[in-house]
Chain A
Amino acid sequence: MGCYPSKQVKTPGYEEPTVLAAETPFTVSEVEALYELFKKLSSSIIDDGLIHKEEFQLALFKNRNKRNLFADRIFDLFDVKRNGVIEFGEFVRSLGIFHPNAPVEDKIAFAFRLYDLRHTGFIEREELKEMVLALLHESDLILSDDVIEQIVDKTFSDADTKGDGKIDQEEWKAFVLKHPSLIKNMTLPYLKDITIVFPSFVLSSEVEDSEI
């Protein structure tokens, strides 16, 4: 413990890897590797140690101006404090949900919040239609309004088992358990190899920095 100085400059929102590792599926060395990744992402446009939405978009799309409904929603959910930026702790805890070993319940709950566009506590019909339209627009696909209505109707007839016109968390969970493919986006295989992709040199660099 006494080997490493505690006063080196860290970015705002930095949290100790041991704390984050205890709360997530990541090991301490994986959290350290994620810090290397975080530093890259958070300095790509504005070098302030925080991931801004433009930096997130730049990483995802190689284009800081490309907007996408779902990328926006994911950014907003990562931004737990809702202050317009993603801090390191938020980044690690949120990515933890995408870890292959994260509990399925966490993935199901995250996907629900992702689709609850208006934060009503339900996935509503209009929201679902809006998301389908966004995907079609993004993909340059054209479906008639009738077909879109049919798709949304069919989904609701399967998922809205209480028949009240909206999907609550309980219905969502039952629906996903019947159709596990619905949360395939919630697992990122990369996270198992994060120390290979982003080897951490935290210990050696910290000691060197502090001794200079």
Chain B
Amino acid sequence: CNLNAFDIISFSSGFDLSGLFEEK
């Protein structure tokens, strides 16, 4: 199994800060 745990974690929606920049 060559999956890197940190790469898996990076798929979390919690890392997607783009919502901060969407027009409110």
Name A's B-contacting residues (CB within 8 A). 37, 40-41, 44, 59-62, 68-74, 98, 115, 128, 131-132, 134-135, 138-139, 147, 150-152, 154-155, 158, 179, 181-182, 184-185, 188, 190, 194, 197-198
Q: Are B21 and A37 in contact (CB under 8 A)?
A: yes
| Alpha-carbon gap, A155 to B8, bound state (A) | 11
Find the B residue at minimum CB distance from A60: B19
B17 — which chain A residues lie within 8 A by C-beta? 60, 74, 98, 188
| Alpha-carbon gap, A87 to B24, bound state (A) | 19
Main secondary structure of the interface of B (DSSP, over half): helix
Q: Are B7 and A154 in contact (CB under 8 A)?
A: no
Q: Are A197 and B13 in contact (CB under 8 A)?
A: no
A65 to chain B: closest CB distance in Å? 14
Could you say which of B4, B6, B12 has the most chain A C-beta atoms within 10 Å of its C-beta?
B6
Instruction: Please judge, given known A-B contacts A41-B20, A132-B8, A135-B9, whether A154 and B15 are in contact too, CB under 8 Å.
Output: no
Q: Are B4 and A158 in contact (CB under 8 A)?
A: yes
Q: Are A197 and B12 in contact (CB under 8 A)?
A: no
In the complex, number of A-B residue pairs with CB atoms less than 8 Å apart: 94
| Alpha-carbon gap, A37 to B17, bound state (A) | 13
Instruction: Please judge, given known A-B contacts A59-B19, A188-B17, whether A70 and B1 are in contact too, CB under 8 Å.
Output: no
Instruction: Please judge, given known A-B contacts A131-B5, A154-B3, A155-B4, whether A190 and B18 are in contact too, CB under 8 Å.
Output: yes
A69: which of B1, B7, B12, B21 is its contact (CB, 8 Å)?
Answer: B12
Instruction: Please judge, given known A-B contacts A41-B20, A147-B1, A154-B1, whether A182 and B7 are in contact too, CB under 8 Å.
Output: yes
B3 — which chain A residues lie within 8 A by C-beta? 151, 154
Q: Are B13 and A68 in contact (CB under 8 A)?
A: yes
| Alpha-carbon gap, A61 to B16, bound state (A) | 9
Q: Are A154 and B4 in contact (CB under 8 A)?
A: yes
| Alpha-carbon gap, A198 to B18, bound state (A) | 14
| Alpha-carbon gap, A44 to B15, bound state (A) | 21
Instruction: Please judge, given known A-B contacts A74-B14, A131-B9, A152-B5, whether A61 and B24 are in contact too, CB under 8 Å.
Output: no
| Alpha-carbon gap, A193 to B19, bound state (A) | 15
A128 — which chain B residues lie within 8 A by C-beta? 5-6
Q: Are A151 and B8 in contact (CB under 8 A)?
A: yes
